[in-house]
Structure 1
Amino acid sequence: MIDNPFLSDTFTKIWLRHFNQDKPTYSFPCFNPLSFVKSSKWPIYVNTGKNYTKGISYSLFDDRTEGVENKVFLIYDVPTFLDLELNSSNTKLKLTKILQYPGYLVDLGNYTDFNQYFSTSFSKSSRYKLNKYKKRLESCFDISYKMYYGAIDPDQYRTIFVYFKQLLEKRFLDKGTTNNNLDPKEWNFYTEVAYPMILEKKASLFVIYNGDTPIGVTLNYFSDTIVFDAITVFDIDYEKFHLGSVTIMKLIEWSINQKFKYFDFSKGYFDYKKRWATKEYYFEYHLYYDKSSIISTVLGNTIALYFNLKQYFRDKNLNAKIHKLTFWFRNLQVKKNERERYLSIPIEGEMNLEKFIEINRDSDEWKDLKSNIFEFLYLNNSSEKDLKVKKSTLDKNRFVLECKDKRVILTMSKSN
């Protein structure tokens, strides 16, 4: 991989400042072009960037092993689809490959345009549904798409990241689980690193707007041939419109038009990745240790056992359970939101609405009703700009949604 973004000066310098407190890095002639950070207690060297990258590439020169004596080297997240030069037959170092997460990508080189990919990868009925989601989204809202790649106004960047974080928090609060990206230290890193990398065309922000409001955000990284989908989120109130699928359609289309060879969904299994990808691969951790050293050999085998156990627990889905348990403990003091359910009844004929008053879009009632409002718009293919929402002056749990000739009455009841 040429121009790996995770080996760039910008990425590594900012990562070192956030996670290594600017302590020294170490380079070894046999590992090109990697640098390493050292454990404070053990002779263990880990690649700069650790597991914050979406794929590390390197070459091993087994005739240049000076300086590796009594040491252990751990290289995170090496994709198996990369053709790496690892000539280790005569080296002092023993290589152990530790299988980790599955990865998924689209081989864009097989297609001249998005329609060719689309028709090859999906059935006629699936294409109809996916196109319907996109068209319905665009007819119901004031939708625009923007790829920030090579240039972005600093104030605009900061605004997008505010929404980016809010949408992630909203998404994972709804799922009832933690998300590592929202760890303050990790989020601060992404906030700082993405801006300069966008200017260098090593990263981008893809944003779906409703008017001026971001409702979907994706952070991407770029090598010379690969688009890495790093973090993506969308407003869950638009669930009916399948923003995730619309985002993928637009990103793959853009990537083909820009002549990239691969669109990489990166590590971790999700149904949607398998559905859109044309190739499955795996991420490996590459563990090297000085096979002539007893200490290095013991350390290397212990590390390998540790990561193999982690992968076993991951295969048994214990990680997801731990994330949910962690979320529960962190939110013990947070009052649980009641789930608001609404019964929607179409209004046939005339209805006296004298006891209903219109509410504005900044009101709490509107915000609480958003998912129901958007479902109404979707089902009736109606535009948000034509919508009126009215609440009863007699019953705070009754609302009317009105859009041209379509009307429904919502009756709200709360349950845990």
Structure 2
Amino acid sequence: MGLLQTVNHNFTQKFFENGDFNPLIGEIYNENKNESFENPNQNLDNTNLNAVYLIEFVPPFFKLKFNASKGQLSSFKYTYFKGFMCDLRTSKSLDDYMSTQLGKKKKKVVLSRLRRLETCFNIEYKTFYGEIKNDECDALMDAFNAMIKKRFNQRGDTHSSLKTWDFYKEETAALIRSNKACLFVIYNDNTPISISINFLFDNVFESAISSYEIDYAKFGLGNIIVLKKLEWCFDNCFNFFNMRYGDYPYKRMWCNTVFEYDSYVVYKKSITKYLKAFVVTKKNQAITYAILNKDKFKALVSLRSKLKGKSNNTSNADVEQPKEACFKALDNFMESNYKNLVPVDIKGDEFAFLRKPIFDLQYSQASKTEDMACFKIDNNTYVAKNTKTNKYFILELA
């Protein structure tokens, strides 16, 4: 192990998801409930006490007391990344919370998209908590995995949960049956279009991983599944809805509490380990600061380049983004004039690329799936028809 290397432990993932207490921890004080509970696993026989340990992502409402069975452990504590949470204790209902936190305008937008989703599709909401069949859970987790990959491929990124997906696939059903986890699913005609896995401890609801079919992006499924989970929290007496780390606009919109995760650099008392732990702490604080302020550093680099008369030709802002294909209104269209008009089924893989344009059209027209028909004129030209209003729309691919 290198001079400044540490043994790392993500407290949030290990504690809430795996139910794993690091043996270095002797006791945890829960400020939310004003109570302490001991670690049932305090056996340090297999723990290398010559190493320095980094226990990170500890929510501030948990205070750690370290195991003293093999001699005194000491620690340096510092704040880490921001966390985002909905404290529901001061709200009587979901409607009350949304009115206070989102405000009239944003609340109206979210509820409007919810109504539009339910108008356009045959929507069903289901929460798996306490009971789920193994084969159903396996099928949902496979669909969930595919959703995450599809969404993050679109963003040119990889979701960190995929690195430990085997754990989620193998353990979720058992965790649901023991009331330690729940799955939220939004279905359209019995097909999952949004899935979220969440972990539960006392009155804390940990919103862990969520994703949705990107073809439905227009309907704001991300906000709708947050709304439905918050509704469940109110119905089931959960006071804290924790959306964890990751600073995104939708979290700031929903959350009334922004906190900082704590990190502990833990070591067995000695001069050499003290010095190593001190340097590790300062190094990690510097790294955290750099990550949190990366936009400022980018701005400084950009300003410096401009002052030197240089331009950044590779900037994303200078790259023209491709426009999404969309249907446009078509006047005076006569089906009888097109003998080669071929009906297409967007449910099949061959015409899957038409789903998002069709769903976007449904959103704008507030039209039901059964009222929409789609036809192919040629490989680059497609026509959609609202059979209820008899209106036509054309899609021309480049």
The TM-score, its normalising length taken from structure 1, stands at 0.75
Distance in 2 (alpha carbons) for counterparts of 1:385 and 1:222: 39
Among 247, 267, 271, the residue aligned to 1:294:
271
Which residue of 2 is the match for residue 84 of structure 1?
Answer: 63
After superposition, residues 371-386 of structure 1 pair within 5 angstroms as: 371-386=356-371
Among 176, 182, 186, the residue aligned to 2:162:
182
Which residue of 2 is the match for residue 148 of structure 1?
Answer: 128
- Deviation by residue 1:160-193 (Cα, 9 ceiling, x = unmatched): 011100000001100011222122xx11112122
Which residue of 1 is the match for residue 301 of structure 2?
Answer: none
Residues 54 and 265 in structure 2, CA contact (< 8 A), matched pair in contact too:
yes
Which residue of 2 is the match for residue 355 of structure 1?
Answer: 340
Confirm whether residue 11 of structure 1 aligns to residue 18 of structure 2: yes
Distance in 2 (alpha carbons) for counterparts of 1:216 and 1:26: 33
Distance in 2 (alpha carbons) for counterparts of 1:180 and 1:187: 9
The alpha-carbon deviation at position 343 of structure 1 amounts to 5.3
Which residue of 1 is the match for residue 139 of structure 2?
Answer: 159
Which residue of 2 is the match for residue 105 of structure 1?
Answer: 85
Distance in 2 (alpha carbons) for counterparts of 1:238 and 1:268: 23
The alpha-carbon deviation at position 407 of structure 1 amounts to 1.8
SS of alignment partner, residue 84 of structure 1: strand
Change (3 A) 1:409 1:279: same
Partner AA of 1:27 in structure 2: P
Among 185, 194, 216, the residue aligned to 1:216:
194
Which residue of 2 is the match for residue 391 of structure 1?
Answer: 376
Residues 88 and 240 in structure 2, CA contact (< 8 A), matched pair in contact too:
yes
Residues 68 and 290 in structure 1, CA contact (< 8 A), matched pair in contact too:
no
Aligned residues: CA RMSD: 3.1
Change (3 A) 1:350 1:101: same
Residues 137 and 241 in structure 1, CA contact (< 8 A), matched pair in contact too:
yes
The alpha-carbon deviation at position 349 of structure 1 amounts to 3.5
Among 189, 205, 208, the residue aligned to 1:230:
208
The alpha-carbon deviation at position 247 of structure 1 amounts to 0.6
Residues 58 and 85 in structure 1, CA contact (< 8 A), matched pair in contact too:
no
Distance in 2 (alpha carbons) for counterparts of 1:347 and 1:69: 73
Residues 27 and 65 in structure 2, CA contact (< 8 A), matched pair in contact too:
no
Residues 225 and 260 in structure 1, CA contact (< 8 A), matched pair in contact too:
yes
Confirm whether residue 407 of structure 1 aligns to residue 392 of structure 2: yes
The alpha-carbon deviation at position 86 of structure 1 amounts to 5.0
Change (3 A) 1:409 1:87: closer
Residues 402 and 408 in structure 1, CA contact (< 8 A), matched pair in contact too:
yes
Distance in 1 (alpha carbons) for counterparts of 2:118 and 2:171: 32
Which residue of 2 is the match for residue 31 of structure 1?
Answer: 26
The alpha-carbon deviation at position 341 of structure 1 amounts to 4.3
Residues 185 and 195 in structure 2, CA contact (< 8 A), matched pair in contact too:
yes
Residues 184 and 196 in structure 2, CA contact (< 8 A), matched pair in contact too:
yes
Residues 230 and 265 in structure 1, CA contact (< 8 A), matched pair in contact too:
yes
Gaps of 5+ in 1: 14-24, 35-56, 322-337
- Deviation by residue 1:105-156 (Cα, 9 ceiling, x = unmatched): 1111112211111111122222221111000001111111111010011111
The alpha-carbon deviation at position 219 of structure 1 amounts to 0.6
Residues 32 and 58 in structure 1, CA contact (< 8 A), matched pair in contact too:
yes
- Deviation by residue 1:311-341 (Cα, 9 ceiling, x = unmatched): 13322448xx9xxxxxxxxxxxxxxxx9684
The alpha-carbon deviation at position 71 of structure 1 amounts to 5.8
Among 166, 172, 178, the residue aligned to 1:194:
172
Residues 167 and 234 in structure 1, CA contact (< 8 A), matched pair in contact too:
yes
Distance in 1 (alpha carbons) for counterparts of 2:94 and 2:53: 42
Which residue of 2 is the match for residue 259 of structure 1?
Answer: 237
Partner AA of 2:63 in structure 1: L
SS of alignment partner, residue 397 of structure 2: strand
Residues 26 and 65 in structure 2, CA contact (< 8 A), matched pair in contact too:
no
After superposition, residues 315-334 of structure 1 pair within 5 angstroms as: 315-317=292-294
Distance in 2 (alpha carbons) for counterparts of 1:126 and 1:378: 18
The alpha-carbon deviation at position 59 of structure 1 amounts to 7.1
Identical-pair percentage: 27
Which is worse superposed, 221-230 or 104-113?
Answer: 104-113
Residues 85 and 257 in structure 2, CA contact (< 8 A), matched pair in contact too:
yes
Distance in 2 (alpha carbons) for counterparts of 1:287 and 1:133: 46
The TM-score, its normalising length taken from structure 2, stands at 0.78
Confirm whether residue 249 of structure 1 aligns to residue 227 of structure 2: yes
Distance in 2 (alpha carbons) for counterparts of 1:341 and 1:75: 44
- Deviation by residue 1:230-281 (Cα, 9 ceiling, x = unmatched): 0010111111000001111111011011011100001121111111001111
Confirm whether residue 75 of structure 1 aligns to residue 55 of structure 2: yes
Residues 5 and 222 in structure 1, CA contact (< 8 A), matched pair in contact too:
no
The alpha-carbon deviation at position 290 of structure 1 amounts to 3.4
